[in-house]
Structure 1
């Protein structure tokens, strides 16, 4: 029972599939996010602030394309797969519908990229960077993490993520030697993404004996509608995520992008500590909500009491040692990034809490509209505040805006979670 002491609760959880899934997700996050961060200290020094900023700007554009192709399926499709895990025909329907929608969005985003390169000097001047970076969108669309997570079989994804990311690291350290090699960075990232996407797609089809076919228009329409509000929330989330770098690149210089992006990479590394926790418990919490809302709330309170102090400690560590972290991680040229890091030091704690209130509670309770509304409001607020601050304060202004946007998210998610009956105390 969830009323037992935490040690007994943990012992029970260890016996379940959720723990194995947690371990797989942890190693997946290390491979997908932490491994590439190994190259950041090297790239920031080898490329210099100017080219490093350009590469980060291109990467932020690709992240937007990935959000479009993901279309919220990393939450909505996970839920559908988890619910119908024992129904092969339903699994085939979900898999084929999601993959077809994703590939259609890949084609759409490629035409958007061609439009930007053709009609805007900012993109035309460095068009090779964007063309070399784009294949990563295709790789991401083929990468069926949503399927494996819903089936709670993350080990397959983890193995190949580790292999492909290690390949990326080796390629970077072997071939990128000076600032003139900056084009190799997006190219190698694309090679890694394509390799990982194709291999895991084939494994999902082979190991789970999936039947590939073109689903009916009605089925495709259903999954488009089902993922709509999650998609809106993900797009809005990027309004205070990738949009920060995108707007900096459009309204300021590449060095400002580099200073903010460097600190942002560090913050995201700490943010990702929460990802394996919240992703691993998501299907399990969904099952608890189906049985009893109170049971799910009790479990989530245990999670908060266990991990919230850890993330507060992490935030304090970032604030105190921000300058040393930037010098070690990015190099002497990036000491300006320490101010950004200090401003954003509470963000890892905010991200963990907003995942509990938003993903675990609102999404599992079907409150997708409220979930999306919070991100839309915070995203619009972030864009407006950036436009007011970036002209005078550049990367510092963007950091201030990003902090307040994150605060709005965690406050808004808790407000709606509380309306559903959840209270921290």
Structure 2
């Protein structure tokens, strides 16, 4: 299980590094206009994937995870969800054909066709099936190979401004190759005879629930940015978006923990192993607090380094926005973990939808009040406040389901954070040195309080040191 989390996080790192490598090259070669066309259709395909997926990615992980040891059940669920997904892609195809026929430019039609193929093969590939079976190692190896092939292809074949179509084809072909690998691999885990015994409609009600959750969860960081453009200015959007991307990357990195552990949580609940479920969820929340508190400190105090690295001096106004948004990291990750690792496996769909809807209403009201007067700073405060309120509400109305995660160990993170905060008020020094000292103080306080992860980390490092010394002595 620990390895699956590591493999998932390595996958996130890989998906982050490859664009960082290719983006500067592609920007220079293709130019602003071509890149703008690509980004427009790429964004459109992302929304098309969201609509055609219908929440299947999350729902499929839970359902396959529940019956992971029953080949007939997982085969039936796989074929049912795949059929629903293909039907949605067929509906999307009607829309895509209409768009293509409405466009006179054959170049745009070519790009739309390739992106639709990406949508279709993303559906057929069904990554969620392998996540549900905890095959993250396979997913990582597959992604490394395909990403490297696409990386080499971009540098070999995309050489001037006229190569936009080649670039689109390479990106789409990488998705197609990934999906073909999945289709070949999935045959080892399913019983093909079960494709005759499917009943797709039994999933629709629950799929609509998770689809609403998915849509409402994506409101923050998407629709609120649109509101900033309406009630503020395009300059505000540009400044805010850079800071938001940093925070979303941090959140995404840790959110993979909840997705990775969702099938195991669902399996425990389905088999009435509630003590194991509580133990897993408790450790997950403790690990998040253990790692996210220093991450918040790092992002807050190194905001100017991060912004200058990503956007340069032109985006210096993003520094304050990033400092404000940094406080949302811990609350957003805890909120996501409680939803997808605890409440969703327990089937608390209505509760999740209610809290997400409440969060949207609160965020919209705050944006309406704050954006006209405080612009991008206002929306940053609104973002943080929304997650704090949502986290409090979801814990209160589901207290019987989540109370087991609140242990005395949580106090150790609060104490360590307060010690670091007081230290920073009393000491003035270079930022890098200050952050390094903050980390040492934070982990030292936790070690003194016998915090589990900190003690285990020290023992693990000490074990490596002992083995290294023994090897050298021999």
Of 263, 266, 281 in structure 1, the residue corresponding to residue 261 of structure 2 is 281
Of 225, 248, 252 in structure 1, the residue corresponding to residue 205 of structure 2 is 225
1:366 matches 2:347? yes
**What is the distance in 2 between the residues matched to 1:199 and 1:183?**
24
1:406 matches 2:387? yes
Instruction: Spell out the pairing of 1:223-372 with structure 2 (5 A cutoff).
Output: 223-244=203-224, 258-289=238-269, 290-372=271-353
Give the structure 1 partner of residue 52 of structure 2.
69
- In the TM superposition, what whole-angstrom CA distance separates every residue of 1:147-188 from its partner, at most 9, and x where no partner exists? 112222222222222222233434445556677766766554
Is contact 1:106–1:138 with CA below 8 Å preserved after alignment?
yes
Give the structure 2 partner of residue 78 of structure 1.
61
Mark the CA change 1:335 to 1:165 in structure 2 (over 3 Å): closer, same or farther: farther
How far the C-alpha of 1:226 sits from its partner, in A, is: 2.6
Give the structure 1 partner of residue 441 of structure 2.
none
Q: What TM-score comes out, normalization by structure 2 length? A: 0.71
State the secondary structure of the residue aligned to 1:227: helix
Which 5+ residue runs of structure 2 have no aligned equivalent? Answer: 408-474
**What is the distance in 2 between the residues matched to 1:212 and 1:233?**
33
Of 81, 85, 88 in structure 1, the residue corresponding to residue 71 of structure 2 is 88
- In the TM superposition, what whole-angstrom CA distance separates every residue of 1:327-386 from its partner, at most 9, and x where no partner exists? 223444444443443332133322321133111110121112212222233235445655
State the secondary structure of the residue aligned to 1:273: helix
After alignment, is 76-85 or 299-308 more displaced?
299-308
Of 178, 186, 200 in structure 1, the residue corresponding to residue 182 of structure 2 is 200
1:165 matches 2:147? yes
State the secondary structure of the residue aligned to 1:86: coil
**What is the distance in 1 between the residues matched to 2:11 and 2:235?**
32
Is contact 1:61–1:246 with CA below 8 Å preserved after alignment?
no
Mark the CA change 1:266 to 1:109 in structure 2 (over 3 Å): closer, same or farther: farther
**What is the distance in 1 between the residues matched to 2:88 and 2:14?**
26
**What is the distance in 2 between the residues matched to 1:251 and 1:212?**
56
How far the C-alpha of 1:265 sits from its partner, in A, is: 3.1
**What is the distance in 1 between the residues matched to 2:98 and 2:221?**
23
Instruction: Spell out the pairing of 1:60-209 with structure 2 (5 A cutoff).
Output: 60-112=43-95, 133-174=115-156, 187-205=169-187, 207-209=188-190
Instruction: Spell out the pairing of 1:19-38 with structure 2 (5 A cutoff).
Output: 19-38=2-21
State the secondary structure of the residue aligned to 1:239: coil
**What is the distance in 2 between the residues matched to 1:56 and 1:223?**
34
State the secondary structure of the residue aligned to 1:167: helix
Mark the CA change 1:340 to 1:215 in structure 2 (over 3 Å): closer, same or farther: farther
State the secondary structure of the residue aligned to 1:263: helix
After alignment, is 326-335 or 68-77 more displaced?
326-335
* Higher normalized contact order (CA 8 Å, seq sep 6+, divided by chain length): 1
Give the structure 2 partner of residue 3 of structure 1.
none
- In the TM superposition, what whole-angstrom CA distance separates every residue of 1:69-117 from its partner, at most 9, and x where no partner exists? 2222222212221222233222221111111111222233344456678
Residues paired across the two proteins, number: 405
After alignment, is 252-261 or 370-379 more displaced?
252-261
**What is the distance in 2 between the residues matched to 1:44 and 1:403?**
33
How far the C-alpha of 1:221 sits from its partner, in A, is: 0.8
After alignment, is 319-328 or 172-181 more displaced?
172-181
**What is the distance in 2 between the residues matched to 1:406 and 1:47?**
39
Q: What TM-score comes out, normalization by structure 1 length? A: 0.78
Which 5+ residue runs of structure 1 have no aligned equivalent? Answer: 1-17
After alignment, is 344-353 or 326-335 more displaced?
326-335
1:415 matches 2:396? yes
Mark the CA change 1:174 to 1:238 in structure 2 (over 3 Å): closer, same or farther: farther
Is contact 2:72–2:194 with CA below 8 Å preserved after alignment?
no
**What is the distance in 2 between the residues matched to 1:384 and 1:58?**
31
After alignment, is 290-299 or 309-318 more displaced?
290-299
After superposition, the CA RMSD in angstroms is 4.0
- In the TM superposition, what whole-angstrom CA distance separates every residue of 1:235-289 from its partner, at most 9, and x where no partner exists? 1112223434566678888776554444333223212321342233323333444
How far the C-alpha of 1:388 sits from its partner, in A, is: 6.7
After alignment, is 110-119 or 413-422 more displaced?
110-119
Computing the radius of gyration from Cα coordinates, the structure with the larger value is 2
